[in-house]
Amino acid sequence: MWVLTPAAFAEKLLSVFRQPLSSLWRSLVPLFCWLRATFWLLATKRTKQQLVLREPDETKEEEEDPPLPATPTSVNYHFTRQCNYKCGFCFHTAKTSFVLPLEEAKRGLLLLKEAGMEKINFSGGEPFLQDRGEYLGKLVKFCKVELRLPSVSIVSNGSLIRERWFQNYGEYLDILAISCDSFDEEVNVLIGRGQGKKNHVENLQKLRTWCRDYRVAFKINSVINRFNVEEDMTEQIKALNPIRWKVFQCLLIEGENCGEDALREAERFVIDDEEFERFLERHKEVSCLVPESNQKMKDSYLILDEYMRFLNCRKGRKEPSKSILDVGVEEAIKFSGFDEKMFLKRGGKYIWSKADLKLDW
């Protein structure tokens, strides 16, 4: 773009006034047009520069702070998929036999503690299957003694637990949750909890006694399904007196208990919401009952698999993140699908340390 310099402007003006009066007006008209166009171009250029200078500030104002990563307050570590039972509705099946070396598992647990973990729950598969419970016991002790976690818990079917384990590791365990879906042994066999001559219900009574003797808080987990939905468990639950009775609605997970690549076919176990609500109504007098419908369970658990990968269930199947051992907790948890608000809404955080429970042993 051309712009008049002071010298050029003076020369142009002098050339105009040297002309005769008759042609002066004809010369001034194009000069005025030239001047108008020149100053309009200068003004346009200056405006564009001001807009460019303002753009970064305006963009900065519109940017929102990225959401903070979720805190792994309570983590469910399924360190093995192997199990000695064959529950038809199982949603974490024996797709691999992999178990991390003990020191690697400890390294991952330390990373979780540094990221804010307060409670660890060990599950499977059946967690007592690995090294007859020794692997699990060492992890429990590590979490309580070295990591000083407020709560360490286990979910087990109870069939492989021996009193010696309580003698060695009971002091480091806050809560033992035993899976019991029925107090009718025939129903347990139908579900897949049959163990030959062993009686699942009788074993439950024995474990309850050991928990009292070794000062471990006792909890019961039940999955309500087609075979037990009409059962009334009020009397038995009250007699066992667990600190919590978690009652789950049978849940389908593609690739685990439904779909082409699944190891289970759980469709025949599924009940609808109304049936689940009727079961809850039947047991409304049980004060320790904690119901969890499919909706409450959805995305409200932080699940860590045998490779220490978070499992995202938002699309109805388990999609793993990268392992926390490779990328760290903060990066891996972004892909966990964890809904922290739903975790709190379903009562995921409660008094979970036996030191705070003030139980009458």
SS3 89: coil
C-alpha closest to that of 28 among 42, 12, 6, 48 = 12
Cβ pair 216, 156 in contact under 8 A: no
Cα 305 from Cα 212, distance rounded (Å):
31
Q: Give the active site residue among 87, 211, 250, 258.
A: 87
Which residues are 217's β-sheet partners? Answer: 175
Distance between the two ends of the chain, CA-based, in angstroms? 92
Known catalytic residue: 83?
yes
**φ, ψ for residue 80 (rounded to 5)?**
-140, 150
Q: Within 13 Å of residue 104, how many CA atoms lie on the same side as its CB?
A: 12
Paired sense of beta strands 151-156 and 119-123, if any: parallel
Beginning with the edge strand found earlier in the chain, give each strand of the sheet holding 217-224 in spatial order.
Answer: 289-292, 244-249, 217-224, 175-179, 151-156, 119-123, 74-78, 303-304, 309-312, 319-323
Known catalytic residue: 288?
no
Residue 192 φ/ψ region, left for φ over 0, alpha for ψ in the -120 to 50 degree band, beta for the rest: left
Q: Which residue has the tokens 């330390």?
A: 110
Which residues are 304's β-sheet partners? Answer: 77, 310
DSSP-H helix ranges across 214-251: 234-240
Cα 361 from Cα 359, distance rounded (Å):
6
Cβ pair 306, 97 in contact under 8 A: no
Q: Give the active site residue among 33, 83, 211, 288.
A: 83
Cβ pair 172, 216 in contact under 8 A: no
Known catalytic residue: 313?
no
Active-site residue set = 83, 87, 90
